[in-house]
Amino acid sequence: LLVSSIGLSSVLMDMDSILAKDNFRDHLSSFMASNNDVGLFGIMAVDFRDGKPHRELLLTGSNSDVVDSFANFLLNHPDAAFLEITERKECIMEEDGMNNASIRVFRQGNGKGSRKQVAPILLGCASSTISSNL
């Protein structure tokens, strides 16, 4: 599976608040549709509790196979192990045929892993996906 582009945004808000926003999924789907060159989009949510960062990552894409591939990489690849990723299975949203993209959400056990550490991991997944398809 080839991914033409990856977008990653950081938001100073907890993931539950993001997911609870009115029409969040519709807005996210509209964003993905208007930026069809982005094959995978991530939202890194960070909030601070007891002075420590708590991070979660939302991955979405119009192709659920792409989202699943990146999810598998984050959960199982040794390069991503330092992030201590676990999936919030209660947040999985599959493609629904109504232009809504697939969504998967992950808790990051290592709160020190910022976007600057996560972005290279996602790029590593993209490059391993490309090389395995050659």
Per-residue model confidence (pLDDT) at position 134: 37
Q: Which amino acid is at 114?
A: S
Q: What is the pLDDT of residues 59-76, one digit of tens each?
A: 988 788 888 999 999 999
CA–CA separation, 7 and 34 (whole Å): 13
Owner of token pair 């984050």: 74
- The residue with greater pLDDT, 19 or 100, is 19
Inter-CA distances, 81 with 8, 45, 73, 78, 117, Å? 19, 19, 10, 5, 12
Share of the chain above pLDDT 90, in %: 38
